[in-house]
Structure 1
Amino acid sequence: MIGKHSEVGFELRELMILLSRVIDQEAAARNVDKLKGPQAWALGFIKKNDHRAIYQKDIEEELSIRKPTASRLIDRMEKNGFVKRIPSIEDKRLNQIVLTKKAEKNMNQIDDLVQTVEGRLKNGLTEEEVQTYLKITRRIKKNLENN
């Protein structure tokens, strides 16, 4: 063992805890009520894809989360007033996830939050280091998905 912890899983866990704290702090600083980390990414995804209908399955795939997790995420975003579910025109069994006026009003702060967090994550890293990190992280994800 080198250093305090040399287990990849432990370091990833610590990184996620720190990232959640930073996102919470940045959301509070921007007065974006009740916005938690995954919500910011989900809202950004919905906004970027406002040219097409977004459903829960799309959020599951984009955030690499399971159906129950996505359902709870959307429930929280709906409770917090960021999204609403409307019945799909094509398939009445599905609900389209759309941004509310509150979310639209807060999108500049949410976009700024995401950019600030990304900036903090990449601070002091070269583009090559960022690409190496992404390559390694994707390989680790693939390892976990295949087993």
Structure 2
Amino acid sequence: MNEPETIGFKIRELSLLIARYMEQTNEDGHIRGPQGFALGYLVHNRHKEIYQKDLEERLSIRKPTASNLVDRMIKNGFLTTAPSQKDKRLKRLIVTEKAIETTFEIEKQVEAIEKVLKQGISEEELAQFFATIQKLKQNIQI
């Protein structure tokens, strides 16, 4: 099998190109990658009790990865924790004002990148792309 023509290779290649583009166009040095995705989820759900296990599910990451992510976000001043009001054994994740401000900046950057990515692609092609990605995800989920 010709490796560059595999689905996994093409997805990885596209992911790396997007990351590289984001780094080159990121004038303000905002966070990127998993912290950015996690912040978006947490900020937009900040009125709910969110726990580390919610990040694991939402980002499709394992417990140790989520734990490291939460620790980095606390260290960077984006999160604090507090005991759950429902279950005192759990710590809920609480976003800081810094996290909210940073998330809105990241979202502006994401909108700009999405605009670049969608150039020359019709609505029908995009719909088919998303449908195909959904099928790929279903096929590989364990």
Judge same fold: TM > 0.5, yes or no.
yes
44, 65, 72: which one pairs with 2:68? 72
Assess if the C-alpha contact under 8 Å between 2:36 and 2:103 holds in 1. Answer: no
Report deviation, 1:123. 2.4
Report deviation, 1:43. 0.9
Helix, strand or coil at the partner of 1:98: strand
Report deviation, 1:109. 0.8
Q: 1:78 to 1:21 in 2, by over 3 A?
A: farther
Q: 1:119 to 1:21 in 2, by over 3 A?
A: same
Assess if the C-alpha contact under 8 Å between 2:43 and 2:99 holds in 1. Answer: no
The letter for the 1-side match of 2:16 is I
Report deviation, 1:104. 2.2
- TM (norm. structure 2) is 0.86
Which residue of 2 is the match for residue 30 of structure 1? 28
- TM (norm. structure 1) is 0.84
4+ residue stretches of structure 1 with deviation over 6 A?
none
The letter for the 2-side match of 1:24 is E
Q: 1:85 to 1:22 in 2, by over 3 A?
A: farther
1:28-53 CA distance string (max 9 Å, x none) = 31342xx1212111111111112211
Superposed counterparts of 1:85-96, under 5 Å: 85-96=81-92
Report deviation, 1:112. 0.7
**RMSD after superposition:** 2.0
Helix, strand or coil at the partner of 2:86: coil
112, 116, 119: which one pairs with 2:112? 116
| Unaligned segments of structure 2, at least 5 residues | none
Distance (Å, rounded) in 1 between the aligned partners of 2:10 and 2:96 = 37
Q: 1:120 to 1:102 in 2, by over 3 A?
A: same
Which residue of 2 is the match for residue 41 of structure 1? 37
Assess if the C-alpha contact under 8 Å between 1:83 and 1:97 holds in 2. Answer: yes
Helix, strand or coil at the partner of 1:13: helix
Helix, strand or coil at the partner of 2:5: coil
Helix, strand or coil at the partner of 2:4: coil
Distance (Å, rounded) in 2 between the aligned partners of 1:22 and 1:85 = 33
Helix, strand or coil at the partner of 1:84: strand
- Matched pairs, number: 142
Report deviation, 1:128. 1.4
117, 133, 140: which one pairs with 2:136? 140
